Amino acid sequence: MTSPPIPTEAPVTLLPSGASPQRPGLWELFIAFATISLSGFGGVLAWSRRMMVEERKWLTPEQFNETYALCAFLPGGNIINFSVIFGLRIRGAAGSLVAVAGLMGPPVLLVMFVGAIYAHYGDVPALRRMLTGVAAAAVGLLVATVAKMAQPLFRSSTITAPLISLATFISIGIVHWPLPLVLMVIVPVSIAVAWARL
């Protein structure tokens, strides 16, 4: 906004290259991912972008998008994969470990505390009703996510993508078949379809 990026102030590259003057240390990495983790409710993507791109300027928007796109199709939590790969590129294997520890450690401690409270008070009717309300709201959020994801899929002229979504929904959401079995059939089919339309 004020000035074009100057080489010395450029964010670190995605390549695991030599020392960059701004390369964050392990402790900084831990604090950054712990902060991202504890700031984010119901998903932490928005917070990781704010921290990585806007506040610390460790990644350009393009680098962030590229790394995130890579993480989105790896198995496991997207943001967890992001922390693994970001940590790796900044500080190698130790960076990966520290970033994941920062991301997962604090919320896991917190959630055990929550679990302990629930174990004591889970039968209190008022708490039950509150949690049912929260679950109902969370279902609403999922429905909105589904609607947003469906838009581009259903706008395209082909019927195959909606059919794959529907088949996945019926076999997992309605019939409750085991996920690994369903994915071992549906993912190869979906890849074959995507490949054929290339």
* Positions in 94-153 near other proteins (CB under 8 A): 96, 100, 103-104, 106-108, 110-112, 114-116, 118-119, 122, 126, 128-150, 153
Shortest Å distance, C-beta 41 to other proteins: 5
Q: Is 52 in the site for other proteins (CB under 8 A)?
A: no
Rule CB under 8 A: choose which of 59, 84, 90, 98 binds other proteins. Answer: 84
Applying CB under 8 A, the span of 1-9, 20-28, 31-39, 49-57 interacting with other proteins comes to: 31-39
Query: How near is the Cβ of 55 to other proteins at its closest, in Å?
Result: 18
Residue 173 in tokens? 């959401």
**Alpha-helical regions (H) of 2-50:** 26-39, 45-49
DSSP-assigned states of every residue in 91-152: HHHHHHHHHHHHHHHHHHHHHHHHHHHHHHHTT-HHHHHHHHHHHHHHHHHHHHHHHHHHHH
Taking CB under 8 A as the criterion, the residue among 55, 65, 66, 94 binding other proteins is 66
Token couple for 188: 């190869």
> How is 76-95 classified by DSSP, letter by letter?
S-HHHHHHHHHHHHHHHHHH
CB atoms within 10 A of CB 121: 11
Minimum Å gap between C-beta 142 and other proteins is: 4
CB of 154 to other proteins, least distance (A): 10
Q: Please identify, using beta-carbon distances, which residue of 10 and 191 lies nearer to other proteins.
A: 191
